[in-house]
Amino acid sequence: MKALDEQLTKIFREDNILDESFITDFLINVNKVLSLENEFLRPRDNMNNSGGLIFLDKNIDTILVSDIHSRVEFLKNLIDFKVNGKTVLQLLSEKKIQIVCVGDLYHSEINCKNRWLCAMEEMLGGFKFHNSIDFEFNENIKTLHFISLLKINFPENFHFLKGNHENIANENINGNLPFGKFSKEGLIVKLFLEKFYSKELFKQLYIFEKKLPIVAVGNNFVVSHSEPRNFHSKEEIINYNQNPDVIFDFTWTGNNEATKNSVENILKHFFSSNYNYSRYFAGHRPVPDMYSLRANNFFVQFHNPLKQNIVIISPGEDISLDKNIVNLMETKGYRYG
Ligand SMILES: [Mn+2]
């Protein structure tokens, strides 16, 4: 545990650009872990591959983590965060807590808008200069490295769901759409990778996102990257890789884009008559402060790009949004009761 803590702290502190073969190696390892997940926790699809759905442990605490967007410091604050006096890293190593990240590890957001504008100029100049994109890509890879180490060390207690930014090829198939907000983020990263890195690295990055699950279910909550555009059954979610619409529906749904009752119908599907006490959590669309409610208050959004919001859910307690959603930039710990 101490060695892992040191390794994670090093990723957080050091700024040097990682060696390509090193990145490829840790990706090969995490891809193997994602392929061999415990099938009680993550049932196999019809092709005998890891399915799209995670059944969480009903007896331990869960922390949901909002969109990361290259903020390694968010992940560092997460592992150092204390629940009842123990750090999350400690609790992970004792299998007493589980983490679900709602996805979107790539592409820095509003704080780095200018860097994206510079990166766009660099792309248009054929990357003759590439300082801005170097810096951005390095942060993306550091974030990926941090997440991969947590997954490799705690395969049953750490889960990262696919977001719409997990689209390294910037493709518009397989439930994905090309991405551009401040500039053409998806295209810039893809062209940069093709120019300076090997096909093997690209392939491993591509495999990684295809192996990520898309929905997790706990005691009294469901979580995915975005609001569900349409209702999908357990079987459809597990077999997500055979239906791009399922992937699209759980990763790309903006406000007012979901069909009526999609959230409630999924909660009813998982919790039947107890669904009244359940909630559906997601990131994707920013909230002005700690959280926003939609879908008759069943749907909770908690991603604020200027905060580091998480949700702490305990099997022994009702979910109180005002108490259980905290910003890691403002607090170092949490206690029950
Ligand atoms: Mn998103």
Per-residue pLDDT tens for 219-268?
Answer: 999 999 999 999 999 999 999 999 999 999 999 999 999 999 999 999 99
Phi/psi for 290 (5° steps) reads: -95, -40
Contact (Cβ atoms closer than 8 angstroms) between residue 106 and residue 165: yes
**pLDDT per residue of the chain (337 residues) written in tens, 0 to 9:** 899 999 999 999 887 777 899 999 999 999 999 999 999 999 999 999 999 999 999 999 999 999 999 999 999 999 999 999 999 999 999 999 999 999 999 999 988 999 999 999 999 999 999 999 999 999 999 999 999 999 999 999 999 999 999 999 999 999 999 999 999 999 999 999 999 999 999 999 999 999 999 999 999 999 999 999 999 999 999 999 999 999 999 999 999 999 999 999 999 999 998 999 999 999 999 999 999 999 999 999 999 999 999 999 999 788 999 999 999 999 888 887 6
Instruction: Tell me the three state secondary structure of residue 21.
Output: helix
Give the strand pairing for 215-217 and 53-55: parallel
Quick count: other Cβ atoms within 10 Å of Cβ 21? 10
Give me ligand 1 centre to Cα 110, in Å.
Answer: 13
Q: Please give all residues whose CB falls under 5 A of ion ligand 1, grouped by chain where several chains appear.
A: 104, 163-164, 284
Give me ligand 1 centre to Cα 179, in Å.
Answer: 10
- Cα dist. 229→118, 171, 258, 284 in Å? 34, 20, 4, 13
Give the strand pairing for 299-301 and 309-313: unpaired
Give me ligand 1 centre to Cα 217, in Å.
Answer: 19
What is the full DSSP assignment across 225-288? SS--SS---HHHHHTGGG-HHHHHHHHS--TT-SPTTHHHHHHHHHHGGGGGG-EEEE-SS--S
- DSSP E strand boundaries for the chain: 53-55, 61-65, 82-83, 86-87, 97-101, 158-160, 215-217, 221-224, 279-282, 292-294, 299-301, 309-313, 325-327, 333-334
Contact (Cβ atoms closer than 8 angstroms) between residue 232 and residue 44: no
Unique residue bearing structure tokens 């390095």:
138
Name the residue ranges covered by the structural domains of the chain: 2-334
pTM of the model: 0.97
Unique residue bearing structure tokens 């004792």:
94
Each residue's pLDDT tens digit, 268-296: 999 998 999 999 999 999 999 999 999 99
- Cα dist. 111→77, 141, 152 in Å? 18, 18, 30
Q: Is 161 exposed, middle or buried (0-12, 13-18, 19+ CB in 10 A)?
A: buried
Give me ligand 1 centre to Cα 259, in Å.
Answer: 19
Give me ligand 1 centre to Cα 301, in Å.
Answer: 12
Contact (Cβ atoms closer than 8 angstroms) between residue 284 and residue 64: no
Q: Both tokens of residue 218?
A: 């706990």
C-alpha to C-alpha distance for 269 and 242, rounded to whole angstroms: 21
Contact (Cβ atoms closer than 8 angstroms) between residue 73 and residue 37: no
* CA of residue 42 relative to chain centroid, distance: 16
Second-level CATH architecture of 2-334 = 4-Layer Sandwich (3.60)
Give me ligand 1 centre to Cα 252, in Å.
Answer: 7
Q: Specify the amino acid at residue 234.
A: K
